[in-house]
Structures are given as C-alpha cells and as structure tokens.
Structure 1
Amino acid sequence: TEITAPAPRAIEARVAEYWTATGVVARALADRTEGPVFRFTEGPPTANGPPHLGHLIARTFKDLQLRYHRMRGDRILTPMAGWDCHGLGVEIGIEKLHGLRSKKEIESFGVDRFTAECRASTLQVAAVWRTMSGLLGYWLDYDRAYRTMDAPYIESVWWSLKELHRQGLLEKGHYVLPYCPRCETPLASHEVAQGYKEAVDPSVTVRFPLEGPGPARRALLVWTTTPWTLPANLLVAARADLEYAVVRVGPDDELVLAAEALPRYFPEAPTVVERLSGSALAGTPYTPPFDAAGPGPNRYRVVLDDFVTAADGTGFVHIAPSFGPDDQRVGAREGVGVFDPLDGRGVFGPGVPSVQGKSFKAADPLLAQQLAERGLLYRAE
C-alpha cells in the first residue's frame, strides 16, 4: 500500500489548531512568579519588508533559548515582542511609491503625510511578521509589542539620555559617519549596504611645500582619491617606522615620499639626496594646498600614525578630520579642530569660494585644475 505524506500546509494547520485548542501559547506566555528569572529582550526586526530564510534562522535560535528556559520553569522577563519601525528601508519604499527623489521633494509632498504612510507601511509589514512568527511557533506577547515609532518608546529613549546627562556621562563632540547627501542624513552601516556599489574616483598626487630654510624647495608628495577633501586638510600623517626618501627633481626642487613608493613615481633611477625615517619628519610644518580652513592650533604639520602604509600612494596621508574615521581620530588626538565646508546636501558653501555651489564630486576636477595652475598638482589619474 502506497503511503502518501500529508501536505506541509495540512500539517501546519493541524498543529496550529492543536495549539489553539489546548491554549498552549497562552500557558507558555503566562508569568511564572516563582521561577528563576531569565531576562530576555526581543531584538526587534526591522519592519520594512517581508521575512526571508535568514530571518527564520535568527528567530529559531532565539526560540531555542526561550523554550529551554520555559521547560526549566524559569520566569521570562520579558516575552514582549518588538518592531523596529525606523530606518531608510521604510522611507525609501514610500519614496519609490510616490517618485520622490530628495528631502526637498518629501517636504513638498508633506512631512506629516509622508510619515503617516511610513507608519502604515510598517504596521502592514509587522502583521506579516507576526503571522510568520506564529506559524514558526516563536511565541512572544505580540498584543503588547513595543514599537520604536510609538511615543512611549521614544520618550523612554529621551529619558535615558536625560539620565545620562544628569549623571555627567554625555560628552559633546564630533564623529564621522557614512552620510547620504540625497537624504541629508547619516547612515547606519547596514543602510549603506542597501545601496552599495563600486565607483571609480580620480586620484591626485599633490605637492605640500615644507616650510623653513633650506638650500632647495622641498615638498611632501601626498596621494588622495578624494580631491574634494583637500580644502579641509589640517594635517599630514606619516608612519614612524617607514623609510622616506628625498628625491631631487630639479636644481632647486626636492620631493619627499616613502622609499617603497619610489618605483611607482620614479621608474627610472631617481637622484636620492637623503633618506630618513618617518619619526624624523614628525612636527615638520608645511603649507596646505588650500587656505580655506585658516590658521588654528597645531595645524599644518606632519604627525605619526600606524594606519599609514606605503602599499598605495606615497606613504603620506592627508588628514581632513571632518571626513573619515581615521582622519577624525587623528585630528581629535592632535587637537586641530574641524573644518567642514559642505552643507547638508554635500554642496560647498562660502568657506571655499572657488567651488561654492558645487557638489563635492563635481568639485573634484575644478580643484585639481586649481592645483595644476598653482604648480601643486604632481599627477592626476
């Protein structure tokens, strides 16, 4: 006799009916005041799209812990479900629905109307997640789930910040994060991954003239793939244990770069007039390629840091503390402050008049041309 296995949907329905008839879900969620406490906080899934297989795996792992402690008779604090209702995923979905392409267009559309549609979309997706979780047997208190868009949750975050401030545990400062000029908002790392694609950027090698007396004009060769950050330069970083070479390129002109980088810039045997370690360059003052940032304490000198390598470029890194985590870290350590000439749309303001009104990427060729006209552009690729 041929035995036909029941359809998965039929098994699913039969199990769900059994759970309902026996009240097993309610019994599992019932508070057990006498048991040992197991503290649990539902790391809320982002309610911006239907679940996929990866979400099922994560919820299964959490369910294993909850079932184990329930079987032990432990008290679960708390079985409350939760939904992460914020993030660009929800907003981008509504933007696509209405063909919105910028923050200004969202404001014209109506912020209240836009946020109302985001909330409605979040609730629809959360309902799909709740159904999936129920079929999976992932039992939480979905009737009293917390939602990060609700006023009580937001106020609890405000209260936490207030308490931290009251205890003197908050500090105001600067921190570099990924940023979207279209949305005019910082981005989380997973939000960057949602729209990540490779791009080709120009690279320039620039002369940074050294200050001080000497028989020849000497300059650092500094390589960067972000010419638009050069007006915000405040330091140059070298590495203490790298060997640097001074190359004569004219009767009165000398260039300094890492010895390891010589073949990239001087394939023919160059005239090396001096070799020195990076530590010997520490504190050396230079003239920045642009004077937009202006004077300030400890600015425009060579500093040392271990993140510098000679694997690419020249063995020198130009430091713009407003752009890049390493730049920010080094700038804060050296106490040079910050200079950010861009507005919220990534457009240059009056701080750099020569490219005022230009977006940061559109400024790349203009800044390179200005460097060339002043004799500071050594190479552009």
Structure 2
Amino acid sequence: MDYRNTLNLPKTAFPMKANLPVAEPQRLAQWEALDIYGALRRARQGQPKFVLHDGPPYANGDIHAGTALNKIVKDMINRYWALAGRDVAYVPGFDTHGLPIEMRALKALGVSQHQIAPLDLRRECAGVARHYIGVMTTQFQRLGVMGDWNHPYATLNPAYEAEELRVFADMVDQGLIYRDLKSVYWCPHCETALAEGEIEYKTHASPSIYVAFPVEETDRLPSGTRAVIWTTTPWTIPANVAIAVHPSLHYVVVKTEVGPLLLAEALVEKVLALLGLHNQGSGAAFPGAALEGLVARHPYLDRTAPFVLGDHVTAESGTGLVHTAPGHGIEDFEVGRRYQLPVIQPLDDQGYYRPDTPLVAGLFYEAANPVVIQKLTEVGALLHQERYDHQYPFCWRCKNPIIFRATSQWFLSIDRIRDQLTEATYTVHWDPQWGGDRMRGMVEDREDWCLSRQRVWGLPIPAFYCLQCGSSILTGDLVRHVADIIAREGSDSWWAQPAAHFLPEGFRCPTCGGQEFRQERDIFDVWMDSGSSHAAVLKGNPDLSWPADLVLEGNDQYRGWFNSLLTTGIATQGEAPYRMVLTHGMVLDQFGQEMHKSLGNTVDPLELVERYGSDVLRLWVASSDFRTDVRISDDLMKQLAESYRKIRNTFRFMLGNLADFSPTTAPGQGALRDPLNRWVVFRVGQWLEEAQAAYQTYQFHAVVHGLVRLMTVDLSSLYLDIIKDRLYTLGRRDPLRQETQTVLYYLLHALLRAIAPVLVFTADEIYEFAPKPADFPHSVHLSTWVGGWDIGYNEDERARMDRLFGYREVILKAIEEKRAAKIIGNSLAARVVLHLPAGENLSRDDQGLLTELVMAAEIVPVTGDILQAVAEPTDWARCERCWRHTPDVSDDDHLCERCRGVLAQSAE
C-alpha cells in the first residue's frame, strides 16, 4: 500500500526558484504603493531617533560598484536600527554643483565654458543634475535602499543654498574668512583653484635640472662662485626671484672643473658624482644664515636672486639650495612674503605664458620646459638634466597635472580653529579606530581652506567690490541678506541681476562711501556645499537631529566630506556634527586591482542585479568586511548565489512544515519539553545574541557567515533533518509535533527578522507566506527584532547535549564507513554498538534521544576501553510508512505500532 497520502508532507506556495530580477521590481512597486518608509516612521513615532546623515554622491552619472556598496551598507544599518525599534529617519542627498557636472554639460553641448553665456551653462548643468538625481534615485531604490526618496536634499535647491550661505555668514562674523594673494593648487585645464581635497597624487615624469646661479662679487665667497639649485619644474625658472637656504644647514664652496660651486656640505659627494665633476678642494663650512643678504643673479634674465632663509629647505635631496618663485611654490610664497619679494606669476588661467614674458611668451607651461633648458644650456648655467619619476599632484576631476599659481582667492582660516578641530576628533567614535589619528593628521597638516573656484556652476560667494575704490566688501549681515534673496529666487539670480539687486537700499561702500558695485563671480568649492549639509539638512529638518548619530563614506573622505563637515561644524557650532564616523574601503576586481574603464575591469552593479537580483548583491556587501578594500567578480557572485539558495531553501522547508500550523492555537512557549527542541531554541538564541551584537557594531560579515553556518550545520544538517520524522509521520495534533511546529514558527520569525536588513526582498517575500497572527504588521520591515526565547535552559541540559553530540560524531563516522562499503544503505538501517569508556553511561532516555539524533535503528551501549562505535545492518524490518526499522513492524500491514496508531487516530 502507498502510505504517502497519510503523511504530513511539506506544503507551501513559496517558490523554490527565487527569480529575483523579476520578483524584486514587483515588490518595490508594492512598497511604494504602501509607503513602507512613511509607515515605518509612523510606527516608530516617539521612539529614540537614529540618524545616519547621507554623504551626497555627485549626480553626474549612473551608480557604480563603489556607490552600490556605500548605499547598501547604509541601508543595512538603517534597517537594523529600525528593526531594533528606533525611529530611523534617512534623507538621501545629492551633490549637484561643481566641475563633474559642468564638464558633462559642456561635453554634451560641444562647447567650452568661454563659448556659452553663464546663465545658459547653469541651466544646462541644472538639467544634467536633476536628470541624474532621477536616474540614481531609481537605481538606489532598485538595490532596496529605503529612505525619504520623495524629499531628498540637493545642493542646488534654493533652500539648501540659503542655509549654506548662512553657515558662511557665521564664519564671516567670526573673522574666519579672508581674501588674499596666495600660491594655490591650480588646474589649467579646468581653469580654477583647487583645495587639498580635490588633489590626488600619481607618478609623473618631470625633467630634473641642476642650474648654476652666479653669485655677485663679495668678500664672503670666492670670486666666480655659482650657487647650484635643483628643480623638476624648469618652466618656473622665469619666475625665480631668490634662492632659499636653511639657516642652520652647513654649506661649502667646492672647487670643480667648471669653477667654484656653492652646495650643502652633506650633499657635496652625491651632487658632484651626479654632475660628473671632481672635488678639487673646498673652503670651510659655514651655516646658511651667513648667506642671508648675499645676492645671486638670474641665469639669463636681468634680475637678482637674493639669498633668503627658509626652514623648508632640507639636505634630503637636491643641493640644499632651493630655487624660489613666490608666484608658484607654496613655501616659496610664504618665504617671499616674509622677505617682501616680488611675486612674478606669468601664467594665465589656462596655463599659458602672458605675452610680456621673455623667452616663453604664449607657450603652454609644459612646452616651456625644453625652451628654458635650451636657454640655460646656451648661457652655460645648466650643469645636468635627467628624467625624474616622482609623486605629483593631479586634478581628481580632469586627471591632469596641476600647477602652483599665486592668485587672489577667498580662504577660511584653519589656523584660527586648528586646536578646536583637533580636540573635536577625540569626542567622535571612529571605526576603524585609526580614523581618529588619520583625521588629526589631516587637521594638523592642513593649509587654510581655499574656498573660491573660478567656474560658473555653483553657489556664488556673496562678496562685492566697490567700483570707486576697488575694496572688497563681505559682512555676515550682507551674506544673510543675499541668502534670503537666493532662498526665494535661486542662485541663478546672481548672474541675472545687478549687484544693487542684492544690496540693501541705500548701501554705501564702508571705505569710500561709493554706491556702485560689482559682484564676486567666483563660486564656492563644492566641499563647502556638501560640508554645509549638517546645517542645511539636519538642523533644517524637524524629523532629524544634530549632531548625526553616524556618517559613513569611503576612507578617502578623511580629506573630503568628513573634513569639511568637521570644519564647518566647529566653525559655526563649536562641535563635530557627527557622533560616529564609519568608513569603507574601495571595490577592487577579482585580482585586487582598482577598477577603471580604461582597464576594462569595471563591474556594473546593475548588470549583476539583472542577472542575480539585488538580494544577492546585498549578500556580497554583507559578507564582505567592508572596512577594508573588497573584491567583486562573477565567480564570487556565483558562490554567493549558492549561499542565497541554501538560505532560501531552509526557510522554504520551515514554511512547508508550518502549512497546517496556526499561531493562535499553538501551545504556550513555556511548554517546551523535548530536549532537541529545547537545544535548538537555546542554540538559535545564542546566535541571535551574537548577530545582534554584530549588527550593532556593523560587523555584517559576522552576521552572514554565522547565519550560513547556523543554517547549514545546526539546522539543515542536524535539527531540520532529524525532525522530519516527527513532522511527517506523527499525527497532526500530536503534542510533540505541535511543539516542534511551535519551535519552527519561532525559528522562522526570529531568523527572518535577523536577515531582513540584508535580504530585504526575500525576507519580505518569506514573511508574506509565513503564518502569523492577524495583528502582525503587513511587512517584515515594519516589525521588530525577535530575541532569544527564555526557556530556562540550564548547564546540565547543555552538558548533556554536548556529550550526546560528541557520541553522534563518532557514530556517524562509523555509519558512513559502512555506507561507503555498501554494507548499509542509510543510517535508518543501522544497528550501532557504542563502546563507552569506563565511568560513562547512557540512560534509557539518552539512548532514545541519541538514536533519534543519529537517525539509526538502534544504539546498543557497551563498556569499552575507548569511545568508539561499530555499525552493522539491523535485523529489524522497515515500516513502509515512516521507513524506520523497528522490532514492532507487523508482517501483515508492514507498519510499526506508532504508524498504526496514527492511522487509527486519523480514521476516527
């Protein structure tokens, strides 16, 4: 007889095949219709807040693997704290000003910035930014990222711009803002000043030259002495106005085949060897301070080059004498200011020499290198030249080398607040811990912040210039007055309206009383835009809180957004605008290489989503230790897809065996009696505590790895495999079966909540099919964490199960040996003789439980010398319904007594 129809086999409509690329967009539509984010906010109203302040990505293209990693990690954090009962408010943001968008707009138009009116370019830029806000919003939502997507913040919005200006006004009031002529990073391709945060260093080949400057006649140095300088920027020689030496470094005049040369004493041998010269005798060494006041001459221009003192000079490289051009070098400029040297800066905004520059007029600065070198050769000043590979600053926007150029810019004084910035880093929790040291290093070494950019697409610096006396005018009250206008009209109005439109009626120049003005045309550095977000977003939104509980970005943001947030926060509020900083690494390819389009090794996260689904991509993020650089590849995604399948099938098994279970009629939780049920509840409770601790410290990889191990080892291979017999073969109302279903129900909901922050789509799909009371929320993402079930599990129970599991391993090994030899078909047909060492015994209850744990026919304990097991085929017949081998199987119906009783009861 076929007894299959008499079994309680699993039944569920939950599909085995996930088909995530199709199912996930459908669930997204459901969430949007139900307003899951709004429902969650309403459900948590009045609870303690958790605010993760979003660092805004540039709205200038599709998302990539790095932005996907960033947003998914943020989403998992937010979803965990919502699950933990906190009121999670997440406002996503977009950085919408600056060069990336302006360059994209110009490329689309096919023009340069000089071929289009500012307002026309700004409108095109705004269109690009708004387009990509829409594109990126859709893409982030496709990844399952939950937030207030209907009300994101964007730095181009007039309300945001006005708040940024009010931040600036506060800094003006505190005397932190000034305008000055300084040597700054300058990109001739982007035609703008840059800040340190916009610089990246790459290996660059430069022409290295050693040049002799003749020293004017003096009784302190031998006649004909020439000072030798070394530089890797021959193009700056036309701007030379001095030679710097270190006051306490010792120098000597060395006689050579080309005459007496002045060098640092410590570098004589090295330099002469490089120049191919010999030391024919040298005078006494003297400190650099003795050279102050002496004068050399420019090698080919009618200009003097006095000796000046500078602590930046070292004997680590070069000659110990530094070519000084205040119009270019940062240290050169500072030394030049101290000695009141002329600032010769012959380059225009595009890096070309002005028409009045001797020898190199009209040349691009790089093209001037061979011309200058040729001239130095002709006049006998060039002693040596060679190729020099070194780390050089590049513009991180256009990827071209930058130059140092003295220009007038607006600055924020870091010196004035440096101590406060440093102190504030100690109040912040940094993860990884080295983040605090890194930020302190950034603060200690940071120059004053160059705020101004010579571009069009951005927020204007609201300063004015008097047309009568030329003085610049910038006050906090004026900035706030402009902020109110821009809040109403937007920043385009700065280019559409005259200066008078933004000034109070009857305003006069504080210096000369003039009444005609022009506006500043420079815009703010974009780091000022995003760095003001704590004020424009957190303080401007009653649903949020200041400071933020957490900010999370890539580890490159210590010099970027983290830094600008800290600076504006300290400058205006006196404290850091975040309580915790968490960083992630970069995304690398399968070989550990950085991904670049030029290398062809980029991985499109949206393509992976279309192939595997967002949940598998999220599983990649969660299973990676994101604090370090992480790798991504198709092979890795295939492995994760397999892990996902195991997790899904484990939940499907639980759902199938709860098909006839009703939570409203289940026995009370305190009624657990079965030792295996009690053990699994205890074991899962242990893992839930570990998972919750891991979630709270953002160790998502520990959660995922622990979950996979729990599901494959403790559940699928052990508990769930063992309980199939009682679930399938016992009567539906059998107390043990109902108790086991109660445990399954608990496991299902506890583990379902635990994976919900990671597998957001799958968790909600499982929840939809899960049995639950009518008063449960309609989405798992509106529910709360299910903790451990306190069943009073004691140490004696734990020790008992540990001992039996130890026996189980020995027994299963013995059975497997006989299975491999084809002596036994499976464990159900095995009779096992278990040899127990003296002093150990197996009670009748233990014997029965161990038999169930190994799913054998019989276990016979005997006393032996060591713990070992011997398996052999059982003589007992097999029950045709439950397939167990028992001594009570009838020859008539081939059923065991238990199955016969179940069938008799069901027939009543």
TM-score (norm 1): 0.80
Secondary structure, counterpart of 1:322 in structure 2: coil
Q: Is the 8 A contact 2:297 2:303 kept in 1?
A: no
| Aligned with 1:316 (options 287, 299, 321) | 321
- Provide the residue aligned with 2:156 in structure 1: 149
Looking at structure 1, the residues matched to 302 and 161 of structure 2 have their Cα atoms a distance apart, in angstroms, of 38
Give the whole-Å Cα distance in 1 for the aligned partners of 2:95 and 2:223. Answer: 62
**Secondary structure class of the residue paired with 2:46:** coil
C-alpha displacement at 1:22, in angstroms? Answer: 4.9
Which residue identity lines up with residue 145 of structure 1 in the other structure?
P
What is the CA-CA distance between 1:288 and the residue it aligns to?
Answer: 4.6
CA distance in 2, matches of 1:278, 1:28: 73
Give the conservation status (yes or no) of the 8 Å contact 1:232–1:293. Answer: no
> 1-side partners of 2:310 and 2:248: how far apart?
10
Residue-by-residue CA offset, 1:302-358 (whole Å, 9 max, x unaligned):
3233563434x3233223233244444555566657432222122223663443333
* Aligned with 1:103 (options 108, 113, 122): 113
Give the CA deviation at 1:237: 3.6
Q: Distance in 1 between matches of 2:337 and 2:69?
A: 42
Aligned residues: 369
Which of 366, 371, 374 matches 1:361?
Answer: 366
Please give the alpha-carbon distance, in whole angstroms, between the structure 2 residues aligned to 1:71 and 1:263.
71
Q: Which moved more, 1:143-152 or 1:271-280?
A: 271-280
Encode CA deviations 1:5-28: one digit per residue, 9 max, x unaligned. 322213423542553465422123
Structure label with greater radius of gyration: 2
- SS in structure 2 opposite 1:172? strand
Residues 121-154 of structure 1 show CA distances to partners (whole Å, capped at 9, x for unaligned) of 2222211211122122322222222222233323
Task: Tell me if the contact between 1:278 and 1:304 (Cα under 8 Å) persists in the aligned partners.
Answer: no
SS in 2 for 1:216: coil
Mapped pair 1:352 → 2:337? no
1:232 and 2:239 aligned:
yes
- State the alpha-carbon separation in 2 of the partners of residues 363 and 326 from structure 1: 23
SS in 1 for 2:53: coil
Whether the 8 Å CA contact 1:103–1:182 is kept in 2: the answer is no
Q: Is the 8 A contact 1:46 1:85 kept in 2?
A: yes
Identity over aligned pairs, percent: 29
* 2:239 aligned partner, one-letter code: A
Q: Contact (CA 8 Å) 1:292, 1:351: kept in 2 or not?
A: no
Distance of aligned partners of 1:366 and 1:21 in 2 relative to their CA distance in 1, 3 Å threshold? closer
What is the deviation of 1:99?
3.3
Equivalent residues in 2 for 1:107-118, closer than 5 Å: 107=116, 110-118=117-125
1:135 to 1:215, Cα distance in 2 relative to 1, 3 A: closer
Give the root-mean-square deviation of aligned CA atoms.
3.6
Alignment of 1:232-251 (within 5 A): 232-239=239-246, 244-249=251-256
Using the alignment, how far apart are the partners of 1:186 and 1:366 within structure 2?
27
Say whether 1:134 aligns with 2:130.
Answer: no
Q: Which amino acid aligns with 1:310?
A: E
Among residues 283, 294, 300, which one is paired with 1:285 in the alignment?
294
Q: 2:60·2:100 contact (CA, 8 Å) conserved in 1?
A: yes
Q: Which amino acid aligns with 1:8?
A: L
**Is the contact between residue 205 and residue 221 of structure 1 (CA under 8 Å) also seen in structure 2?**
yes
Amino acid corresponding to residue 382 of structure 2 in structure 1: L
The reply to whether residue 58 of structure 1 matches residue 70 of structure 2 is yes
1:300-315 superposed matches below 5 A: 300-306=306-312, 308-311=314-317, 313-315=318-320
Per the alignment, in what secondary structure is the counterpart of residue 141 of structure 1? Answer: coil
**1:29/1:185 CA distance change after superposition, 3 Å:** farther
Please name the residue that 1:24 is paired with.
36
Task: Measure, in 2, the Cα distance between the counterparts of 1:210 and 1:12.
Answer: 78
* Higher mean displacement: 64-73 or 140-149: 64-73
> Given the superposition, is the C-alpha separation of residues 19 and 283 from structure 1 closer, same or farther in structure 2, using an over 3 Å criterion?
same
| Alpha-carbon spacing, 1:252–1:54, altered in 2? closer, same or farther (3 Å) | closer
Tell me the equivalent position of 2:130: 123
Q: Distance in 2 between matches of 1:229 and 1:303?
A: 20
* Matching of residue 376 in structure 1 with residue 376 in structure 2: no
Residues 62-77 of structure 1 mapped to structure 2, 5 A cutoff: 62-76=74-88
Distance 2:94 2:175 in 1: 31
Match of 2:281 in 1: 272
- What does residue range 7-46 of structure 1 map to in structure 2 within 5 Å? 7-13=19-25, 15-17=27-29, 19-20=31-32, 22-30=34-42, 34-46=46-58
User: For residues 11 and 282 of structure 1, do their structure 2 counterparts lie closer, same or farther at Cα, with a shift above 3 Å needed?
Assistant: farther
Check the 8 A contact 1:216/1:252 in 2, yes or no: no
One-letter amino acid matched to 2:187: C
Q: Which residue of 1 aligns with 2:208?
A: 203
Amino acid at match of 2:174: Q
Deviation, structure 1 residue 224: 1.0
CA contact (8 A) 2:235 2:372 kept: yes
Distance of 2:210 and 2:188 partners within structure 1: 27
What do the CA deviations read for 1:26-85 (whole angstroms, capped 9, x no partner)?
Answer: 123459663444444321100111111111111123234433443444455x63222111
Q: 2:270 — aligned with what?
A: 261
Tell me which amino acid in the other structure corresponds to 2:365. Answer: F
Aligned pairs for 1:169-188 within 5 A: 169-187=176-194
Corresponding residue of 2:344: 339
Q: Given that residues 240 and 306 in structure 1 are in contact (C-alpha distance below 8 angstroms), is that contact kept between their aligned partners in structure 2?
A: no
Instruction: Report the equivalent of 2:91.
Output: 80
Distance 1:4 1:31 in 2: 32
Give the letter for the 1:247 counterpart.
V
| Higher mean C-alpha displacement, 282-291 vs 130-139 | 282-291
1:215 and 1:188 mapped to 2: Cα distance? 45
Unpaired segments ≥5 residues, structure 1:
none
SS of the residue 2:372 aligns to: helix
- Larger helix proportion, structure 1 or 2? 2
Tell me the residue number matched to 2:229.
222
Work out whether residues 289 and 309 of structure 2, in 8 Å CA contact, stay in contact via their aligned partners in 1.
Answer: no
Q: Which residue of 1 aligns with 2:104?
A: 93
- 1:273 CA displacement: 0.7
314-323 vs 50-59, greater mean Cα deviation? 314-323
Retained in 2: the 8 A contact 1:241–1:279?
yes
Amino acid at match of 2:97: H
CA distance in 1, matches of 2:43, 2:288: 65
The 1:60–1:364 alpha-carbon spacing in structure 2 relative to 1, beyond 3 Å, is same
> Which letter does structure 2 place at the counterpart of 1:379?
H
